[in-house]
Chains A and B, each alone.
Chain A
Amino acid sequence: MIYKDLSDEKLVKLAIDNDREAFAEIMRRWERKIFALCFGMLGREDDAGDAAQEAFIAAYRNLKNFRGEAKISSWLHRIAVNQCLTIKRRQRTRSEDHLDDNSDAESRVFVASPAYSPGRITEQDERLRLVRQAVGALPVELRQVVVMKEFEEMTFQEISETLELPLSTVKSRLYTALKQLKMRLERTPIEVV
């Protein structure tokens, strides 16, 4: 059976029937997005990896409770967010705010694992090409905010002062840019080898 061609609903049904390959396909489809969500919440690669790992384990264990009322993506997002919040609460109780960690800059470096297969590397190249195109297609006023935030690591206040724009305008422009990027990236699905 070719799992790659099956829909999310079919895969969930197969996974509920203890088809491990079906659940592996679900993981493969959503692992990057779940990891990105966790990274957005936690800001550290290792914490995000742990949260995503815990989220998939929790999803596998609670697969039978998935009623199919929501999309599988929303269900996985909720599980991942709950895992991230759990990790954050745990960090707070330990008074380990990651902002005070000097190794933060190093830990934020995310590169493809050496264990990645050649197919994954090709997929990554393709993804980078798409992101490059998507960012390049953004309007200038949106793109400059993305570049200043992601490439120059400026704060919203600094961007606001640099561009002489209200703070709320800078934030809304970045939000709009990220939403447009998501739409453009979803419009051109990545060919997986």
Chain B
Amino acid sequence: MNRKEYTSGPCPNSDTVVSYLYDELTIDAKLKFEDHLADCSYCIDEFAAVSMSRFEVFDWQLVEFADMPTPAFYIPHETDRLADLWNSVVNWISMTKGPVAAFASVVLILLTGSTIYIMRNDGQSTASIVTGQARLSDDAIPTNHSSAEPVAIASAVSLKPSSTGIKPSAHHEPSTSTLSGESASLKRKDQIYRRRTNTPNVPDPDSVAVQNSKARSLRLIEENEESDESLRISDLLVEADPNN
């Protein structure tokens, strides 16, 4: 049957049909629609069609979903710290994409690995790897120390073994600079001895320049042993004099 004008007015549109189906019409609009429905076979069939579909969905929803228990949802608020750390690192990397994140990751991994390595190597001692403590130990070392002080320095260092690799030792071995100073002193004393005992010295003993130089050196050394530096300067002036 085609849609046409009835005594109750023109056929209502689809909005009115579904609104009536879901009971969302005003009372006046509802009465008007029902008056029309009693008179219009076309609208009756239309309404029956959407009613049937709606009922099938309604029935399906009731049978399959209404009695379905709602699953329990769990939000993991608390996780272990290691997982938190890992998640934060992953999140940070994902947020700061690119080479910066990659570089930072490499640095982090290297730091972690080296820390673990050092801790394993120093496992038997209670050595601290805190930089501040290592600095405290370093502060105990005087800047200008004589060759007589190393034992005290070593004992100061041995109180706090640090990650810098300084190991406690009962016997202090002089440094290379100390050795070279001592050998020079011995060498000079040997030259003095040779000069005094007329022991022939190394290269060309007949050379006048060498003889003069040796004489000056001997004098300088002797004067140096008396700790008179002003004389050393005057000797230099004498050395500069071509008539001497």
Q: Is B128 an interface residue (CB 8 A)?
A: no
Q: Which of B19, B57, B64 contacts A146 (CB 8 A)?
A: B57
A74-B1, A109-B66 known; A37-B18 Cβ under 8 A: no
Determine whether the beta carbon of A185 is less than 8 Å from that of B53.
yes
Q: Which of A37, A70, A182 contacts B41 (CB 8 A)?
A: A70
Determine whether the beta carbon of B55 is less than 8 Å from that of A39.
yes
A81-B37, A127-B56, A128-B64 known; A156-B49 Cβ under 8 A: no
Q: Which bracket fits the contact residues of B? A: 35 or more
* Inter-chain residue pair count (beta carbon < 8 A): 124
Decide if the interface of chain B is mainly helix, strand, loop or mixed.
helix
Q: Is A175 an interface residue (CB 8 A)?
A: yes
Q: Which of A12-20, A21-29, A166-174 contacts B (4 or more CB under 8 A)?
A: A166-174
Chain B positions within 8 Å of A41 at CB level: 47, 51
With both beta carbons as reference points, the residue of chain B lying nearest to A39 in the complex is identified as: B55
Q: Is B154 an interface residue (CB 8 A)?
A: no
Chain A positions within 8 Å of B14 at CB level: 171-172, 175-176
A 38-68 to B, binary, CB cutoff 8 A, 1 in contact else 0: 0111010000000000000000000000000
Q: Is B139 an interface residue (CB 8 A)?
A: no
With both beta carbons as reference points, the residue of chain B lying nearest to A33 in the complex is identified as: B52
Chain B positions within 8 Å of A77 at CB level: 41, 44-45, 48
- Which of the listed residues A43, A151, A155, A174 has the most CB atoms from chain B within 10 Å of its own CB? A174
Q: Is B192 an interface residue (CB 8 A)?
A: no
A78-B41, A149-B22 known; A40-B47 Cβ under 8 A: yes
Determine whether the beta carbon of B47 is less than 8 Å from that of A181.
no
Q: Is B54 an interface residue (CB 8 A)?
A: yes
Chain B positions 1-44 with a Cβ under 8 Å from a chain A Cβ: 1, 14-15, 17-19, 21-24, 34, 37-38, 41, 44
Chain B positions within 8 Å of A155 at CB level: 24
Determine whether the beta carbon of B41 is less than 8 Å from that of A36.
no
Whole-angstrom CA separation of A110 from B58 in the bound complex = 9
Interface residues of A (CB under 8 A from B): 32-33, 35-37, 39-41, 43, 70, 73-74, 77-78, 80-82, 85, 88, 99, 109-112, 124, 127-128, 131-132, 135, 146, 149-151, 155-156, 168, 171-172, 174-179, 181-182, 185
A-B contact pairs, 17 of them (CB 8 A): A33-B48, A36-B56, A37-B52, A39-B58, A40-B47, A40-B55, A88-B34, A109-B62, A111-B62, A127-B56, A128-B63, A156-B19, A156-B24, A171-B15, A178-B18, A178-B53, A185-B53
